[in-house]
Amino acid sequence: MTLFTNEHILQQRISPETRENLLSSLFGVNAKNPDRNDTVAIAVCGGLYVFTAIMLVFAWCNYNYRPIRAKNLTWTTLIYLSALLWYIGNIACNGHVWLVNNWSRCKVWVLWFRVLFTYVFASMNIVRFFALDRVFNQKKPFTTRSSIIAFALVVVLNVTYCLVNHLISDSLTVEYVPALEACNITMAFRIAALVFQWILWIGVSVLIFRLRNIQSSFNEFYESIAIFVVVIALLLETTVTNVHYRYYVLEQPRRIEKTVMDAAASNLVVWLIMAYPVAMCLFRHRSYERWWLERLTDDNHNDLFTRVDDQDSVALNNHKFNITSTSPSDTAHLRISNPTSFPATMHADNTVGGHLDSRQATLGMSSIFNIEYPRYMPDNRYVL
């Protein structure tokens, strides 16, 4: 068999046995060609991503379930997609396939898939934690406009980094070696890529520290700590592997271990974010949601409105309500359910405004009224 080199000159492919012996003697490792074990590793890791995708599809189908919606499903999905593309890059970069034809485009797979999407993965986590910080610490909304700006910054910064490296000579970054059917990644490029990745996750650590006082009903601080521990463990393993075991892609056990570690850690991050609310939606749909809403009031959210659906409860200034009807407009039709009288400001049209004044008229528990509130409430400012 033959293949084209970068100079478009036909070159005879060496036999698999010769390749293994040549690589082993050149680099002092027990080189192993891609075989069935690599295929099994690809399938197992792919199964993890399929399993996670099913969970996210279920979450999107139940987007109106408030504990799920509070997890910012849009950014979580983007984190998953970046992890998936990172995994596709690993298939080629870690030597699980023969690097011929399209798989021989080393710079594309290394730079534009593995490196780019490890950075995007970290950047998406930064944006998600920043959104939490903005809503809970800064008391400011994280709107659709903010999301678009954040997404644009992630794309521009990471693509610019990869574009600059793409324009640098292959001999200084990543190049394909046709005679060995292998990619050569220089140590300088590896160190630069690792340093930038460490910088991104140091930024994550700063944001996580700022989230330490978030109310317990959201569990974001402990969830963030768990994510950080998983990723730092993976980053330490990646650093040691790339620096100490420079030719790990030639050794089958090491390359399989690296791919499985990357896949397991990246999927675990998504599961740490979404698994619990998804499980509660599946097994304790109503009871958990009501408990979750009650925890909002216990965690000093009793001065906030809560967006509601049919036959659900709302907490407003320590008063409980049940909804009797809704409309797509910004006005919800509510019935008071607390056994005591409710002080409220009355309008001429018998509606109640968003501001409540105990010095004004009183409504009894059987009263029906319309209460006006913004489409996006303070506890949902973080939701897209």
Per-residue pLDDT of 343-370, as tens digits, reads 333 333 333 334 333 333 333 322 222 3
Burial 367-379 (b: 16+ CB within 10 A, else e): eebebebeebeeb
Radius of gyration over every alpha carbon of the chain, rounded to an integer in angstroms: 27
Low-confidence ranges of the chain (pLDDT < 50): 1-10, 301-384
Residue 298 CB partners (closer than 8 Å, separation 6+) = 217
**What is the number of structural domains in the chain?**
2
Domain with 31 in it: 2-286
Q: Are 268 and 320 members of one domain?
A: no
Q: Are 111 and 10 members of one domain?
A: yes
Q: Are 32 and 106 members of one domain?
A: yes
Q: Are 369 and 313 members of one domain?
A: yes
Q: Are 226 and 354 members of one domain?
A: no
Question: How high is the pLDDT of residue 11?
Answer: 53
Domain boundary (242, 262, 286) is at 286
Is there a domain that residue 306 lies in? yes
Which letter does DSSP use for residue 13 in this model? P
Is there a domain that residue 381 lies in? no
Q: Are 259 and 349 members of one domain?
A: no
Q: Are 331 and 209 members of one domain?
A: no
* CATH (domain of 200): 1.20.1070.10
Question: Rounded to whole angstroms, how far apart are CA atoms 29 and 112?
Answer: 28
Q: Are 111 and 207 members of one domain?
A: yes
Summarize pLDDT for 158-193 with one digit per residue, the tens.
Answer: 999 999 999 999 999 999 999 889 999 999 999 999
Q: Are 239 and 353 members of one domain?
A: no
Q: Are 342 and 226 members of one domain?
A: no
- This prediction's pTM: 0.75
Domain boundary (286, 317, 347) is at 286
Is there a domain that residue 258 lies in? yes
Question: How high is the pLDDT of residue 136?
Answer: 80
Confirm if 116 and 261 have CB atoms less than 8 A apart.
no
Confirm if 162 and 114 have CB atoms less than 8 A apart.
no
Q: Are 197 and 332 members of one domain?
A: no
Q: Are 307 and 246 members of one domain?
A: no
